[in-house]
Structures are given as C-alpha cells and as structure tokens.
Amino acid sequence: MADDRVKEEALRMLGLFQVLPKLVVFDLDYTLWPFYCECRSKREMPSLYPHAKGILYALKDKGIDVAIASRSPTPDIAKTFLDKLGIQPMFVAKEIFSSWTHKTEHLQRIHRRTGIPFKSMLFFDDEDRNIEAVSKMGVTSILVDDGVNLEELRSGLRNYASNSASSNTKQSD
C-alpha cells in the first residue's frame, strides 16, 4: 500500500473516533523501522515499515502531535536516519537515549516538553516491558508485533477512546 493510500485510510479511521489523543508517541527500532539503529551505519539509507509514513502524515494532517521515545544507544544514527527519511521535523519531541527505565523517563521528558498529560497520549512500542511500564503512567500503550500499521493504529485508537470514556465517567458504550 502506497504512502498516500495508507494516509487516506488512516485519516478515514481517525474520523471514526470522537475522542482522539493529543500526542502519539512511537518507538523507533522495530516499531517505525525494521532494524536496530546500533546495527547500522549512518551511510546506509534506512526504510520505514510500509504503513509508518502514511500514518505519521495522517496524524499530522489531523492536528495530532507525534513524538519519539527510543532507548537506542546510538541517537546520532537514529537522528541521521530520521533526516534521511525526511521525517525529523514532524516530531514535537525526540527522546532518544539509552536507559534502564523502560521508557518512563522518555515519556516524562516528552510530557515536560509538550505539557500534554499522560492520559492524552497514545504510545506504540515493540517491547512488553515498555508497554507495561508506560501503561502504569496512564498512557494508552499498544504492543506492535511487526511494526506500526493500520491495524495497530485502529487498535490504539479503540483502546484510547475506551480508556478516555472510562477515565471521564463510567459511560456505557
């Protein structure tokens, strides 16, 4: 599926939900792209998962901010790849640093930088431990198996809407 078709489908999907996150946070390795940065050279041309770029553009078109939370030990390579892919300016925050905190520190920094409450965020990552830790902060968190795609986005939006409804009042669906 080409980027434009993915973007159109993602925009259609976003239009189905009355409640949307203010910020969507993505891991990099095995979430936006299919590799570990530290195993690559800055000279290489990276690639994203097939649906990633269309999803990013749809979120931006809908006025939803996007950010990065990555525990990569090679932030220089990650930022070079974001530049090469032409997507670095899209992100309101890029927290890329090695850590043992399972992304909690990354999300706290993103919160401080953006002012967006944890309950208004949606987070995609490929590691269970990060999903568990960040969920405890009140962030709707989605485990991705093989990169972010339209099905994962749909799942994230559903879970976010459900969490928002139950945190506001105990509304019935």
Active site residues per annotation: 27, 29
Enumerate residues 6+ apart whose C-beta is below 8 A from 136. none
Q: How far is CA 17 from CA 12, 13, 124, 164, in A?
A: 10, 7, 18, 12
Cβ atoms of 27 and 130 within 8 Å: the answer is yes
Q: How far is CA 149 from CA 34, 71, 109, 137, in A?
A: 12, 21, 26, 24
